Amino acid sequence: MFTKEHLQLLSKNFKNINEVNREIINLESILSLPKGTEHFISDIHGEYEVFDHILRNGSGVIKEKLKEIFGNILTTKEINILATIIYYPEEKLSLIKKEYSNLEYIEFQKVIILRLLKVVQFAARKYTRSKTRKILPKTFNYIIEELIYKMDINNDKENYYNKILDCIIELDSADNFIKELSFSIQNLVINHLHIVGDIYDRGPYPDKVMDRLINYHSVDIQWGNHDMLWIGACCGDLICIANVLRICARYDNLDIIEDRYGISLRGLLNLSENYYFDDECKEFYPKLTDHRYSSKEIYQIAKMHKAIAIIQFKLENEIISKFPEFNLRNRRLLNKINFEDETILINNKNYKLTSCNFPTVDKEDPYKLNEEEEKLMFKLRDLFVSSEKLKKHIEFIISKGSMYKCYNGNLLLHGCLPVNEKGEFQTFSYEGESYKGKKLLDFFDSKIRQIFYSKEKIGNELFFYLWQGEYSPLFGKKDMTTFERYFIEDKESHIEEKNFYYKLRETENFSIKVLKEFNLPTDGHIINGHTPVKAKKGEDPVKANGRTIVIDGGMSKAYNKTTGHGGYTLTYNSYGLQIMKHNVFEDKNIAILNETDILSTKRVVDKIENRKIIKDTDVGKEIINQISQLKALLLEYKKGSIQETY
């Protein structure tokens, strides 16, 4: 089963029979531990404060554990204070300190430390000491380990433990110790985090979300359509760059580009002032979430917004013309404008335009960039490609990300698997080859990685297709009506027809068919994001008798009114799956001051009769394979065909 060469390499890590035996015993025992908790979050869209709070409270998992440990001991007020300290230790301790005298605060610190140690001990029950040690902060890991594994029934070391606590207080390290204990609890309650697409766009702080993910202990990412734009922009694709800038302008987030990714927009500002100085740009005023800008500044954003939108419409034509197999011809609209009567012909119907001021559009050659536009876009390409911070973030998305993920019997997929009305997988053709079903996703996954790591960036047109192609698994609609939404009041023209996947996923038979396509068990689950669940209108996130779960519930503020809440998250522990519907998060400072949390409604999706252990998981399969290799090595040692070393 394993070649001698392979086992000889393995012998370098396990040099003799004793070392092999020790590792086999360790791995066999790990298989019997309870499965760790997975946490699923989708469609963050730059809403860092909400995302950060949900990570800190583990979608309510931490509060549940506190009630389990202290429910009969502490009051609701005391549990809320303890929870808030775990979520925001520095900020909450700073407020509490002002309420006590020095001696009173020292007593408070002792009480909180002992309570937090109980929580750490409780949360660490699922893990080996070795894994717990890795999660604990390096500064205090030895001390915490000593305290949480002390034998409560033996008082021989009581003075020893008390002295540890006294020294922490005397050295003025108690607040820092509490902070590290709190962060340890946050990491212990969630074993692994899944981000089911769309970190970027709409919200103001996608960069902060990325920094948080880079520092998270265990995470994977399924690419969303908005993430794909930023991957393309980092690769220097002009259409993606134009889209990224347009969406940032639309949601009043251009400071993401300038202040946080260090990409100057002076050229875009100058071009917009030059060509749109007398244009009202009423269709392009940003969707403001606050009042930080003057009316003059808002008008400047609107002009920049319009300028980059027109450039985008021009740039798209080259790909549409070059790749007729993409079937995007109906997205070529600039040549269908009637400038005399200010109308546009779409699908054999004339629509009145809200504005017909297109000073950079040559009526004879409407898709040609003028000299200034061309110069601007090449300059922006250089700036996007050379942004070190953007490169760091996108490299992480590529390394931790994929088009989909099969994990512990579940399929994690941001958008859809394109199908026709009969549920048959639709075919995408590219360079003479055809792809459908799982092979379609595998193709896009492979190509995006090749493009990202290639110096030539050949295949950039796939970024555009994944953004708005009919058979794009990240988009999943027939058309993206961006132009119509800007320039046509008639909402009939705004309709974006969804792929049949979104209707068929309501049925169990179809969902099982999709699971089988990925060689997953029929009692698994498809976990989608991408389409906000409009609970306000009675839509259910749990579909197909629990086989499909949609967790895009409107974390983005732009969707809160539409969905009626603040988003969904999902947890999967050793007892089953639970979906949480969260109320809209008000404010971090209010949460810290008043010890309030996001009000969440938990719903059990799938309860497991026999508690799952690590042996039942994908990690368990890897461990079983490791054990097989070690047993094979053990046999070679005993036969003498591989020499032991000491």
Q: What is the pLDDT of residues 546-579, one digit of tens each?
A: 999 999 866 777 667 666 667 789 999 999 999 9
- Three-state DSSP state, 423: coil
Q: Would you state the pLDDT for residue 593?
A: 86
- For residues 123-142, average pLDDT: 85
For the residues 103-113, what does the mean pLDDT come to?
A: 93
pLDDT band at 607 (very low <50, low <70, confident <90, very high): confident
User: Using 50, 70 and 90 to split pLDDT, how confident is the model at 154?
Assistant: low
Q: What is the pLDDT of residue 599?
A: 66
pLDDT at residue 151 is higher than 60: no
Give a three-class secondary structure readout of 349-417.
Answer: EEEEECCCCCCCCECCECCCCCHHHHHHHHHHHHHHHHCHHHHHHHHHHHHHEECEEEECCEEEECCCC
Q: Average pLDDT over the chain, rounded to whole?
A: 92
Strand partners, 606: 577
Model confidence band, residue 589 (pLDDT cutoffs 50, 70, 90): confident
pLDDT over threshold 60, residue 432: yes
What pLDDT is stored for residue 6 in this prediction?
Answer: 94
How do residues 189-206 score in pLDDT, each as one tens digit?
999 999 999 999 999 999
Look at residue 587 in the predicted model and tell me its pLDDT: 80
pLDDT confidence of residue 543: 94
Residue 601 DSSP SS3: strand
Task: Return the pLDDT at 562.
Answer: 66
The pLDDT assigned to 136 comes to 85
Report the alpha-carbon angle 427-432-434, nearest 5: 20
Task: Give the pLDDT band (50/70/90) at residue 166.
Answer: confident
pLDDT of residue 625: 96
Distance CA 181, CA 301 (A): 45
User: Residue for token digits 């305290």?
Assistant: 147
If 0-12 CB within 10 Å is exposed, 13-18 middle and 19+ buried, where does residue 294 land? exposed
Q: What is the dihedral of CA 122, 128, 131, 133, to 10 degrees?
A: 70
Token digits of residue 578:
């639970």
Question: Out of 20-34, 129-143, 396-410, 627-641, which region has the weakest mean confidence (pLDDT)?
Answer: 129-143
Q: State what percent of residues in the chain have pLDDT above 70.
A: 96
* pLDDT (0 to 100) of residue 290: 66
The model's confidence at residue 289, banded by pLDDT at 50, 70 and 90, is low
Task: Label residue 617 by pLDDT band (50, 70, 90).
Answer: very high
In 58-205, which ranges are continuous DSSP H helix? Answer: 61-70, 76-87, 89-97, 102-123, 129-135, 141-148, 158-170, 174-189
Answer for the pair 595, 78: CB distance below 8 angstroms, yes or no.
no
Q: Model confidence over 22-58: pLDDT tens digits? A: 999 999 999 999 999 999 999 999 999 999 999 999 9
Q: Minimum mean pLDDT among 375-379, 464-468, 531-535: which range?
A: 531-535
Sheet of 576-582: strand order equals: 401-402, 219-222, 192-195, 38-41, 568-573, 576-582, 600-607
**The pLDDT of residue 360 is above 80:** yes
Instruction: Express each pLDDT in 257-274 by its tens digit.
Output: 999 999 999 999 999 999
- pLDDT the model gives residue 567: 79
pLDDT band at residue 156 using 50, 70 and 90 as cut-offs: low
Which tokens sit at 512? 């099982």
- Give pLDDT tens digits for 323-334: 999 999 999 999
Provide mean pLDDT across the span 118-127: 90
Q: pLDDT grade, residue 105 (50/70/90)?
A: very high
User: For the segment 455-477, what is each residue's pLDDT rounded down to a tens digit?
Assistant: 877 889 999 999 999 999 999 99
pLDDT at 597: 77
**DSSP code per residue over 269-319:** HHHHHHHSTT---GGG----SS--S-HHHHHHHHHHHHHHHHHHHHHHHHH
pLDDT bin (cut points 50, 70, 90) of residue 138 is: confident
Total-model pTM: 0.94
What is the rounded average pLDDT of the residues 70-84?
94
Structure tokens at 410: 């579940």
Higher per-residue confidence, 81 vs 601: 81
Tokens of 548: 């499909």
Contact 200, 206 (CB under 8 A): yes
- Supply the pLDDT for residue 74: 94
- More confident position, 124 or 293: 124
Residue 32 is classified by DSSP as T
| Residue 405: other Cβ atoms inside 10 A | 17
CA atoms within 13 A on the CB side of 496: 16
